[in-house]
């Protein structure tokens, strides 16, 4: 079974600064995907960024980037130029890959609550 | 807007009762997933359906059941409700065999058991 660990229950960052959220995972799979989801106070689950395990290059989406260390089973999220709208709960998630490239269940970490302050 | 709809938004009921949560996936998506988000258990996978068939099962209680209908909408039935079943229930959908691993989440149904 896969496990996802987020060791930072809460973090705070000032507007315009950079913050890094940590995530580690445990799996014996070689084919998998990793995700970061954002859950603002509205409770909607919003996909922030995705990383395929077979890709060495770290994924980036505008101000969001990841540091994927496959050997260390680490998948951290860096938010640059933090904005008030980034205030949310952030979940790291694991998905086992399939031969057909289709989706399967997500296994989530416990989340990190990020507060962006003025 | 993810394109996934869930009804109702909120549900308040009493212990011992039975409720049905409904989910309509994005147009064309064949897979539906149900997740439960509670203070105790965090976000956990309950069950997946693909084109009407059960595909995977997670930590779903025996008091809970689900199905996916020919029009691909899905229902999650919760019976003999207990206080601990109070949670936010998410439905997500994905494209199935045509590829793509992204899951699109609905807005959730907040269930309160009193």
Do residues A18 and A80 make contact, with C-beta atoms less than 8 angstroms apart? Answer: yes
Q: Where residue A71 falls among pLDDT bands split at 50, 70, 90? A: very high
Q: Report how far apart, in Å, the C-alpha atoms of A8 and of each of A24, A90, A100 are.
A: 11, 10, 35
pLDDT by residue (tens digit) across A82-103?
Answer: 999 999 999 999 999 877 767 7
Q: What is residue B101's predicted lDDT score, i.e. its pLDDT?
A: 81
| Å between A106 CA and nearest CA of chain B | 7
Cα–Cα distance between A22 and A17 in angstroms, integer? 17
Of the candidates A95, A78, A88, the one whose C-alpha atom is nearest the C-alpha of residue A25 is A95
Confidence at residue A75, expressed as pLDDT on a 0 to 100 scale? 98
Q: What is the pLDDT of residues A26-44, one digit of tens each?
A: 999 989 999 999 999 999 9
Chain A hits for B107, CB-CB cut-off 8 Å, are 42-44
- The reply to whether residue A106 touches residue B35, judged by beta carbons under 8 angstroms, is yes
Length of chain A: 118
In angstroms, the CA A105 to CA A110 distance is: 16
- Per-residue tokens: B82: 């207990």
Instruction: Please judge whether A104 and B44 are an interchain contact, meaning their C-beta atoms are less than 8 angstroms apart.
Output: no
Q: Using an 8 Å Cβ cutoff, are A112 and A21 in contact?
A: yes
pLDDT at residue B99 above 70?
no
Question: Which one, of B100, B83, B102, lies nearest residue B92 by Cα?
Answer: B102
Quote the pLDDT of residue B90. Answer: 98
Neighbouring residues of A71: CB distance < 8 A, sequence distance ≥ 6: none
Residues B27-43: pLDDT tens digits?
Answer: 989 999 999 999 888 89
> What is the β-pairing status of strands A64-69 and A60-61?
antiparallel
Given a cut of 60, whether residue B106 has pLDDT beyond it is yes
B109 touches chain A (CB under 8 A): no
Enter the tokens of residue A11. 């973090």
The answer, yes or no, to whether residue A104 has pLDDT greater than 90, is no
Q: Nearest to residue B25, comparing CAs of B56, B53, B58, B49?
A: B49
Residue B75 CB partners (closer than 8 Å, separation 6+): B20, B21, B22, B23, B66, B67, B69
Distance CA A107, CA A94 (A): 5
Say if residue A62's pLDDT is above 80.
yes
Mutation site, A102, A109, A112, interface B, largest B CB count within 10 A: A102
């Amino acid at each position: 079974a896969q496990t996802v660990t987020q060791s930072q229950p809460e973090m705070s960052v000032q507007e315009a600064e950079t913050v890094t959220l940590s995530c580690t995972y445990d799996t014996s799979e070689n084919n998998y995907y990793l995700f970061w989801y954002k859950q603002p106070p509205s409770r909607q689950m919003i996909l922030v960024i995705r990383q395929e395990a077979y890709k060495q290059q770290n994924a980036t989406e505008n101000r969001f980037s990841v540091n994927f260390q496959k050997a260390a089973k680490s998948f951290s999220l860096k938010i640059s130029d933090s904005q008030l709208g980034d205030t949310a709960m952030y979940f790291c998630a694991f998905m086992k890959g399939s031969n057909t490239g289709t989706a399967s269940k997500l296994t989530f970490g416990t989340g990190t609550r990020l507060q962006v302050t003025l | 807007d993810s394109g996934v709809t869930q009804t109702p938004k909120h549900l308040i009921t009493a212990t011992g009762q039975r409720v049905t949560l409904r989910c309509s996936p994005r147009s064309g998506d064949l897979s539906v997933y149900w997740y439960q988000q509670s203070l105790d258990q965090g976000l956990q996978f309950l069950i997946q359906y693909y084109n009407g068939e059960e595909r995977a099962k997670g930590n779903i209680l025996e008091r809970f059941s689900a199905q996916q209908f020919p029009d691909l909408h899905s229902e999650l039935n919760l019976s003999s409700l207990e206080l601990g079943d109070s949670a936010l229930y998410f439905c997500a959908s994905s494209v199935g065999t045509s590829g793509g691993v992204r899951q699109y989440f609905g807005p959730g149904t907040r269930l309160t058991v009193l």
